[in-house]
Structure formats: structure tokens, C-alpha cells
Amino acid sequence: MKEAKRAQGVLPGDRLAVSEEFLPGSHTYDSSGLIRSLTAGSVVKDPKSMEISVKPAAEPGLFRVDDWVTGQVEATQANSANVHIFFHNGKPNHKDFSGMLSLRGLSGGGRGERGARRTTPVKSGDVVRCRVFSLVNGIIHLNIDEPDMGVVAALCGICGKPLQKGSATKVKCDECGNVEDRKLARDFGTIPIEP
Amino acid sequence: MAKGETKLIDEKGNRRDGRKWDQLRPIKLQVGLVKNADGSAYIEWGKNKIMAAVYGPKEVHPKHQVLADRALLRCRYHMAPFSVDERKNPAPSRREIEISKVMREALEPAVVVGDYPRTAIEVWVEVLQSDGGSRVAGITAASLALADAGINMRDLVVGCSCGMINGQVVADLDDTEDKEGDGDMPVAILPNLGLVSLLQVDGVYSREKFQKAFELAIQKGKEVYGMQREALNARFFGGEAKVTQVEEVAE
């Protein structure tokens, strides 16, 4: 087969090559020695790796490692929290996905640290910005280790008013004077929330 | 008049609507009409008017239905109360539940569910106007909606029904032919892979008639597949870039 001269539109099931010519790349599969497309898109051939793949014309917007998400903490445990995702890379996401936020190394009181002072990097109801660091077993694993990641808005656990930034790890309530611990994002408090 | 006694085809081989025995009704396909869905398609197949929409991959609710290694494919075939002559109760009927099931089983061999673990892919098929053969029309539209959503698929799925009227094998039965005829046979295929993902048979067929009807359904299904390609071509490539097999372009 000669090298294609122009971008070619292909649809699911279309024959792209035989497996002696190319290796199946992304959005392709090998079916009895024939490489076929898995999606509608344009064909991309890499002459170095001898890989043929399809650049999709439409993608279902799945999560990838290094994406960032914003969501609300639904439940917390000693070393993890459940985050309901509302924004994916800054765009609204209404697919009801939840991620598992790792708090290991942030919360204290983990394994081997029995008796250490327990801090609370996130609490239920906080709005957090997180990085996707793994998708192992189909679970969206999140972390907030970077300065830009962490709690971006929170409400007071006592009176329910928005908390204000105190120090690097403290937030305080101007209404009732309550002070709480958090792992704050650099821009904490700049997102307006109504109580 | 008892079933099978109505004259549905004349001596010249013309059917009530003027079609020949092997002719399809007019088909119109459009992709990407529902803005809020991840993928959608609309089909007019004779007097059938059917909308299909795909949502997902999305989180599975209830959580106990999560499949750790693949997506959960959900299909819902539903007829609008105004889709038939007499108002239909909007609650899912036994027939709709059955068609939802066979539709899922027809689509599942094409969808690469293993690429989307712990998620749900929902396919909603709404029959706005019904005139026989709505399950194959629904499968055809649902397959386009899945492709529109960018879901990985081994092949498109295309459906076509054949059957028997007055003892003669015919293609694409309408509602009257379905009710008054001797039987129908909806078939769904994955045309590039040469696989059959749906085969239902209603009526009594001789071995020869069965073979003829089955082959006719596949042949007509491939015709519909060409229309599916045109619809996706118009959606993704503006109808300008001719969608062709790579080998043909290269040579």
C-alpha cells in the first residue's frame, strides 16, 4: 500500500492496513490480521514506529492523567476523600463522576504516625481543585500536592458563612471567629460562593 | 379477514405502497441533532420517525451495578404515546422492555465496552412515529448516535427486516405487512466484520424461504449501511471529504 497523500476520513470498522504493514495504534484494533478503525476520524501514520492510528473526530471527554478537576468533597476518611466532580479542565461536567482524593501525607495520623496531631486538609462540602494522577482500575485518583491544587472555597463548620484565608494552612470565619485547618489552593477565596 | 388472507402483493409483484418485493422504504438519516446529548441521530424510515441519543460514558448509578472491567451498556426503546394510531400508555410495555434488551444485545458486540471501565453508556431510542420495522430503524440510529458520541466501536451496526407476505419473501415490511403478513425477520449486522448481532424470526418459514429472507436482509442492510456512512460523513467531514477505504485512496 502506498503512503496516503491526504488526510482520510474513516469510520468505525474501516480497514486501515494489514498487520504486516503497521502496528495498531490508538483508536484502532487488529481483527484477524486487518487493522481497523474504532472511531470516526482521520488516519495518522507514524513511519518511525510503523504505527497507524486514528485521530478521533469526536471524543467522549474521558479523564486523563494530569487533567485537573474541580469538585465538592462528599465524604472524608483518614487518608482519602470522595470528590464529586463538577468541572473537568475548567469545563462543566455533568456526568456525575466521583474521584478518590488521596490525603496520604497531608492529613497526618496515617499508618506509623499514631498519636500524631491530626489536621484536616479537606472537609465535607469544600470545593477543591485536584490533579488526576492515576486511573488505575477505572478509579479517578486525585491529589492536591501542588500549590495551585487544594481547597478553593469552604464554609464555616459552625455558622456556615464563607471562610477567609488566614495563613498558609488556616482559614478563619469573620462571623464567628472559628479557625480551621485546610490544604489551600493558592487562589483560595477568590471564587465567590454564597452561603 | 384472517391473518395472511389480505392481498398485500399483486400478481405483478407490486406491494400496497407500490414497492417491489425487494425495495426498501425511503430512508433519511441525520446525526448530531440533540445538543445536550453526547451523541444523537434521527432516522426516518418510511413513516417511522425515531430519535436516538447517547449519554456517556458516565458514572453508574446505582453503584452496585458498576462493572469493574467494562462499561455498562443501557438501552431504552420507548414509543411515544402519539406514535401509534391509538394512544399508547407511556409506561414501558412488555414489548418495549424486550426490544430494549435485544437492542442492547445487538449493539454490545460493536461497542468496545472494555475501554470504559466502571462507567455507563446510555442509549435512548424514542419512537416518535411508528410504522413497522422500528426496532431495526432504532438500532441503525442508535449505532450512529454511539459513533457521534465518539464511543469506540468495532463496526457500525445496521438493521433491516425482511419477511413473508402471501407466501412470498419481501424486504422491509411496513406496519400492515407486519400485522397481516406471514411473518417478519429483523436482522442486525456488523457489515465490515460480517457478523450478525440480531436475528429474530416470527412466522413459519421453509428452509429455502428462510435462507432467501436472511440473505435479503443482509443485502438490504448493506444498502442502509451506505446511508449510515453518508450521514456520518456529513457530520464529521462536512460531506466534502469522501469517506473511503484507505486502500482505495492509496491505490
Question: What percent of chain B is predicted at pLDDT more than 70?
Answer: 92
- Subunit contact A13:B243, Cβ cutoff 8 A: no
Contacts of the segment A175-178: beta carbons below 8 A, 24+ positions apart:
none
Asked if A5-56 and A68-181 have one fold, the answer is yes
Q: What is this model's ipTM?
A: 0.89
* Spans of all domains in chain A: 5-56, 68-181
Contact residues on chain B for A9, CB-CB shorter than 8 A: 233, 236-237, 241-243
Chain B: closest CA distance from residue A176 (Å):
39
Contact residues on chain B for A59, CB-CB shorter than 8 A: 150
What is the assigned CATH class of domain A68-181? mainly beta
Q: How far apart are CA A65 and CA A67, in angstroms?
A: 6
pLDDT tens figures, B114-129 = 999 999 999 999 999 9
How far is CA B34 from each of CA B134, B149, B228, rounded to the nearest angstrom? 20, 11, 17
Q: How far apart are CA A162 and CA A149, in angstroms?
A: 19
Domains in chain B with CATH codes: 27-237 (3.30.230.70)
Q: How far apart are CA B81 and CA B84, in angstroms?
A: 7
pLDDT tens figures, A127-168 = 999 999 999 888 899 999 888 899 999 999 899 888 988 888
- Subunit contact A1:B246, Cβ cutoff 8 A: yes
What is chain A's percent helix, strand, coil content, to nearest 5? 0, 40, 55
Supply the DSSP string of A14-37, one letter for each residue. -EEEETTT-EE-TTEEEETTEEEE
- Return the DSSP state at B153: B
Chain A: closest CA distance from residue B240 (Å):
10
Under the banding of pLDDT at 50, 70 and 90, the label for residue B247 is very low
- Subunit contact B150:A4, Cβ cutoff 8 A: no
Question: What percent of chain B is predicted at pLDDT more than 90?
Answer: 85
Amino acid at A183: K
Under the banding of pLDDT at 50, 70 and 90, the label for residue A175 is confident
- Subunit contact A7:B68, Cβ cutoff 8 A: no
**Contacts (Cβ under 8 Å, ≥6 apart) of B28:** B43, B44
Q: Tell me, rounded to whole angstroms, the distance of Cα A45 from its chain centroid.
A: 30
* Residue B51 · residue B40 · CB < 8 Å: yes
Contact residues on chain A for B41, CB-CB shorter than 8 A: none
Looking at residue A4, what is its pLDDT?
40
Residue A114 has pLDDT above 90, yes or no: no
- Subunit contact A38:B39, Cβ cutoff 8 A: no
Amino acid at A8: Q
Looking at residue A189, what is its pLDDT?
82
Under the banding of pLDDT at 50, 70 and 90, the label for residue B212 is very high
Contact residues on chain B for A138, CB-CB shorter than 8 A: 68-69, 117-119
Average pLDDT of chain A to the nearest whole number? 86
pLDDT tens figures, B57-97 = 999 999 999 999 999 999 999 999 999 999 999 999 999 99
- CATH code for the domain defined by A5-56: 2.40.50.100
Q: Which residue has the higher pLDDT, B11 or A85?
A: A85
Q: How far apart are CA A116 and CA A64, in angstroms?
A: 35
Residue A24 has pLDDT above 60, yes or no: yes
- Subunit contact B241:A29, Cβ cutoff 8 A: no
SS3 A153: strand
pTM value is: 0.87
